[in-house]
Amino acid sequence: MKPPAPAQPPGSLHSVVAHVAETCLRARGAEWKLSAFGASSGAKAKGCLSALEVSWPAETLLVGAADTSVFTDFRTRAQAEQLVVLFYESTATGRWSEGPAGPALLDLVVRPRLGVRSAPDAARARELLRQTQHACVVGREIGTGFAIDPVIEVWPAHEVTTTSELGQPGLAGH
């Protein structure tokens, strides 16, 4: 018979096996695409998800819901503020540990990357994303492990020639 493993003292470090689910959202023209990646999901979907089209684990669906929720809330706020957003892409990553009651969410981070025309527009976009983080239904349910970590790029107006997902001018070559 094997002796029991020694108990770890409170506050000691121990390793946690984390499982990762990741999504990627890209908005271009009039379409958006949400793709999922992870150990148990290689499925990809375009536009709305259908149970008949893809089979994603619940963890990946939660990550995709957060990614999509951030995008739609930010898009609505940007349109209401008449903020010109040249492009929007994001990735979202959720990490889980395996516990006695099943998977336990450790954290979920949405990382939008977007382009605007000026530094003042970048500041406005950052504020709208801050508001989005507090308003996101999925994020509120998750609690303290939810974050939005944006990268906001400023693109000169002379490079703007096409139309973006937000129905506003977009970037040439994108």
The model's pLDDT over 46-99, given as tens digits with 9 standing for 90+, comes to 334 434 445 667 888 888 889 999 999 999 999 999 999 998 999 999 998 888
Q: Which pLDDT score is estimated for 31?
A: 64
Q: Which pLDDT score is estimated for 97?
A: 86
Q: Which helix (H) or strand (E) holds 22?
A: strand 18-28
Q: Which pLDDT score is estimated for 37?
A: 58
Q: Which pLDDT score is estimated for 160?
A: 53
Q: Which residue has the tokens 């954290």?
A: 107
Is 67:90 a contact under the CB 8 Å cutoff? yes
Phi-psi category of residue 136: left, alpha or beta, with phi > 0 → left and psi -120 to 50 → alpha = beta
Residues sharing a CB contact under 8 Å with residue 68, sequence separation 6 or more, in sequence order = 25, 34
Architecture of domain 18-171: 2-Layer Sandwich (3.30)
Banded model confidence at residue 39, pLDDT cuts 50, 70, 90: very low
Output phi, psi for 81, to 5 deg: -90, 0
Mean pLDDT across 15-22: 61
Q: Which pLDDT score is estimated for 146?
A: 92
Rg (CA), the chain: 19
Mean pLDDT across 4-15: 40
The model's pLDDT over 128-161, given as tens digits with 9 standing for 90+, comes to 999 999 998 888 888 778 999 999 999 976 555 5
What DSSP string describes 8-45? PPTT------EEEEEEEEEEETTEEEEEEEETTB--EE
Half-sphere CA count of 76, side-chain side, radius 13 A: 10
Q: Which pLDDT score is estimated for 76?
A: 93
